[in-house]
């Protein structure tokens, strides 16, 4: 699996560079939208990797390697977890920098919204990956955009709801629920992907 991750990261050097440039710019701009954007972008990288694989017909190559289906599928999930974790770390650093350089206080809700965004990003990945393994990124492009747009709407309306009920919310409980749902979704998604992959 490590080999596959190396391949994906190296073949997406362009995206990886963009990712870091974005991170630095974000740290200076201290824009909340950019903070969410970088997490969602990070979660979309596995799909990009899949699109690259498809274009190179890498699947034919994978058939020849001593790798199980679970390892091949798992590498894409793992990639999503790693990129989201890295983006989270960057966002936290950005916040910390903001707190020190611009004296922007780190508030509980901010941290909360960042983690919730990461959960949603991973949940979207859990919905996307089996679909993409099944119909392919090329053919699934439209569907992909649809899912992402509806996810964006869901996030926005969720934020509005949160604004209203902010006072009555128990943050740790909501966080635990979000993390739990994301985990269950990912486990289910992985199992479905394993079945979807290369059904011939």
Partner 1 sequence: MNAIEMKHVTKSYPAFTLSDVSLSLPSGCILGLVGENGAGKSTAIRLLLNGIARDSGEITILGRDNRSKEFVQTKEEIGIVLDEAYYPEVLSAGTVGKMMQHTYKSWQQDTFVKFLDRFSLSDKKQFKEYSRGMKMKLSIAVALSHQPRLLILDEATSGLDPIVRDEILEIFNDFTRQEDHSVLISSHITSDLEKISDYIAFLHQGRLLFCEEKDRLMEEYGILQTTVKSLSEVPPDAIIARREGKYATELLVKRALLSEAFDVERAGIEDIMLFLVKKEEV
* Using rule CB under 8 A, residue 2 touches partner 1: yes
Which of 20, 31, 63, 166 binds partner 1 (CB under 8 A)? It is 63
Stretch of residues binding partner 1 (CB under 8 A), selected from 52-60, 78-86, 89-97, 115-123? 52-60
The count of C-alpha atoms lying within 13 angstroms of the C-alpha of 53, restricted to the half-sphere facing its C-beta, is 25
**Structure tokens belonging to residue 128:** 């996307």
User: How many residues line the site for partner 1 (CB under 8 A)?
Assistant: 26
21, 31, 68, 149: residue in contact with partner 1 (rule CB under 8 A): 68
Contact pick of 105, 167, 172, 200 for partner 1 (by CB under 8 A): 200
Residue 111 phi, psi (nearest 5): -60, -45
Options 6, 25, 99, 177; binder of partner 1; rule CB under 8 A: 6
Piece of 11-19, 29-37, 40-48, 100-108 that binds partner 1 (CB under 8 A): 11-19
Q: Which of 33, 60, 164, 167 binds partner 1 (CB under 8 A)?
A: 60
Q: Which residues of 124-158 are buried (b: 16+ CB within 10 A; e: fewer)?
A: bbbbbbbbbbbeebeebeeebeeebeebeeebeee
Q: Residue 163 or residue 200: which is nearer to partner 1 going by CB?
A: 200
Q: Choose among 103, 120, 102, 123: nearest CA to 112.
A: 120
Q: Is the dihedral of CA 5, 8, 11, 16 positive or negative?
A: negative
- Binding flag, residue 78, partner 1 (CB under 8 A): no
Task: Establish if 52 lies at the interface with partner 1 (CB under 8 A).
Answer: yes
- CA torsion 190-155-106-32 (nearest 10°) is 110
Residues that bind partner 1 (CB under 8 A): 2-4, 6-7, 10-11, 13-14, 52-53, 55-61, 63-68, 198, 200
């Amino acid at each position: 699996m490590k080999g596959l991750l190396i391949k994906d990261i190296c073949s997406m050097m362009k995206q990886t560079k963009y990712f870091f440039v974005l991170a630095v710019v974000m740290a200076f701009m201290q824009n909340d939208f950019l903070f969410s954007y970088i997490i969602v972008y990070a979660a979309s990288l596995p799909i990009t990797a899949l699109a690259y694989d498809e274009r190179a017909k890498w699947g034919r190559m994978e058939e020849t390697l001593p790798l199980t289906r679970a390892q091949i599928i798992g590498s894409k999930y793992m990639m999503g977890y790693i990129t989201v974790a890295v983006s989270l770390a960057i966002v936290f650093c950005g916040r910390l920098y903001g707190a020190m350089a611009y004296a922007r206080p780190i508030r509980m809700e901010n941290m909360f919204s960042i983690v919730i965004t990461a959960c949603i990003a991973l949940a979207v990945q859990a919905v996307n990956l089996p679909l993409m393994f099944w119909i392919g990124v090329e053919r699934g492009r439209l569907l992909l955009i649809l899912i992402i747009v509806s996810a964006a709407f869901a996030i926005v309306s969720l934020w509005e709801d949160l604004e209203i009920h902010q006072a009555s919310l128990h943050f740790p409980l909501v966080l635990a629920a979000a993390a739990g749902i994301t985990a269950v979704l990912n486990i289910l998604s992985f199992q479905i992907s394993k079945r979807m992959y290369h059904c011939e």
